[in-house]
Structure 1
Amino acid sequence: MVMSGSVVAYLVLLGLVMVERLVELVLSTRNARWAMAQGGREVGQAHYRVMTVFHTAFLLACAGEVLVFQRTFPGGVGWLSLAGAVAAQLLRYWAISTLGPRWNTRIIFVPGAEPVTSGPYRLVRHPNYVAVIMEMVFLPLIHGGYLTALLFSLGNAALLLVRIRAEEEALGVEYQRAFADRPRFLPGGSREGP
């Protein structure tokens, strides 16, 4: 099978995203050790395993759809999706840098720690999840993977229903008070949702 230049470029991009995820896991492991040393407690271990498999499957599906169905680069939609995927990464790293050692891929809360309300958390409760939602839509659409975008966005919504409830419950009353006036996902949006 001969691959076009755009397919090769897309696969390289997906490879870079995979490397990025591995770096994030290293950072998350380091931050988990820090949190546990501060008396942190972890919740949501069962859904974390599902989430890990889901996100790995997502990246494989992005490549698979393009290769199996021979998707072509969709022109303007592809370029807009690339811009959206880059914006998602910028938002993700704004959230990560704002949380510092408190950022984690797991739900680990440190009892007595003040909620972080600066950076993107001034605007919404869950900017990192906004970045994930954006990525589920835009990353596959860069190269015409509309089935992956649709199916994994639906799956991610179901996963976020479980994860956000577990996280907000674990963070407790101080978190609820600090974020009572902030929407979950969109500035000016609903304070309810998944």
Structure 2
Amino acid sequence: MARREGACLTFFWGVISFVIAQRLLELGIAARNGKWMKAQGAYEVGREHYKYIVLGHVGFFLSLILEVQLWHKGLPPWWAWLFAVFVLAQVLRVWCISSLGKFWNTRIFVLPGVKVVTSGPYRFVRHPNYAVVIVEFVTLPLMFEAYFTAGLFTLLKIMLLAVRIPLEEKALQEATNYAQVFGAKSRLIP
């Protein structure tokens, strides 16, 4: 039993280390892309709420780590399905980032007059990257029976996105061809 629990915790730390390293790499990509966009004449929208996005992600990881370490129950019988969905979400995340290229960012930068990206997953929905984040906030904690983290932080993420998405869309509609291209497309689910 102790050996099985040890293997489960090793798996947890492997997954969480991967995700944290991935987020740090993405912050570096976002900083580089942000510099490039500003040099092209882009401006930032929603700076006031960005700190809450960051706090939400930091809180999510801290809560997940604490919940798993303090009340670890093991892996649920359906953990492999959750892991498969999580892995697919990571593939979609990479597809989102590579499709947007230099326009991808964790912040909202708007470059007036530019044509919005309509390739990759953006052919199907307006905000596939936000759908990925919601999937992660559900699957990652549920995979390790961290039900408190899954419930609380998924709800908080949805509340933050309810502010962020309309703000981003309004700014893009005012400065780009966003309304023409994405007007009839769903936000998160094709």
What TM-score do the two structures reach when normalised by structure 1? 0.92
- Report the equivalent of 1:190: none
Note the C-alpha offset of 1:4: 1.7
CA distance in 1, matches of 2:111, 2:101: 14
Q: Give the residue type in structure 1 aligned to 2:53.
A: M
1:62 lines up with 2:71 in the alignment: no
Structure number having the greater helix percentage? 2
Cα deviation for residue 177 of structure 1 reads: 1.6
3-state SS of 1:183 partner: coil
Match runs of 1:33-182 below 5 Å: 33-75=35-77, 77-173=78-174, 174-182=177-185
Q: Percent identity?
A: 43
Q: Deviations over 1:3-33 (max 9, x none)?
A: 6211121122101110110000000000000
> Is this contact kept in 2: 1:137–1:149, CA < 8 A?
yes
Contact 2:95–2:120 at 8 Å: present in 1 too? yes
| d(CA) in 2 for partners of 1:176, 1:145 | 39
Picking from 11, 14, 17, the partner of 1:9 is 11
State whether structure 2 residue 186 is matched by structure 1 residue 183.
Answer: yes
CA–CA distance in structure 1, aligned partners of residues 184 and 102 of structure 2? 25
CA contact (8 A) 1:65 1:71 kept: no
Find runs of 4+ consecutive structure 1 residues off by over 3 angstroms.
Answer: none
Instruction: Count the aligned residue pairs.
Output: 185
Deviations 1:16-58 (A, max 9, x none): 1101100000000000001001100001111111101110111
- Give, in whole Å, the separation in 1 of the partners of 2:103 and 2:72: 42
Contact 2:8/2:75 (CA < 8 Å) preserved in 1? yes
Give, in angstroms, the shift of residue 70 of structure 1.
2.0
Unaligned runs of 5+ in 1: 188-194
Gaps of 5+ in 2: none
Q: Using the TM superposition, give the Cα deviation of residue 71 of structure 1 relative to its aligned residue in structure 2, in angstroms.
A: 2.3
| Root-mean-square deviation (Å) | 1.1
- Report Cα offsets for 1:109-158 as digits up to 9, x if no partner: 10111011111001000000010010000011111112211111100110
Distance 2:94 2:165 in 1: 19
- Write the letter of the residue equivalent to 2:187: R
Q: Distance in 2 between matches of 1:97 and 1:31?
A: 12
Q: TM-score, normalised by structure 2?
A: 0.94
1:108 partner SS: strand
For the 8 Å contact 2:72–2:145, the answer to whether it is kept is: no
CA contact (8 A) 1:7 1:143 kept: no
Q: Distance in 2 between matches of 1:59 and 1:85?
A: 15
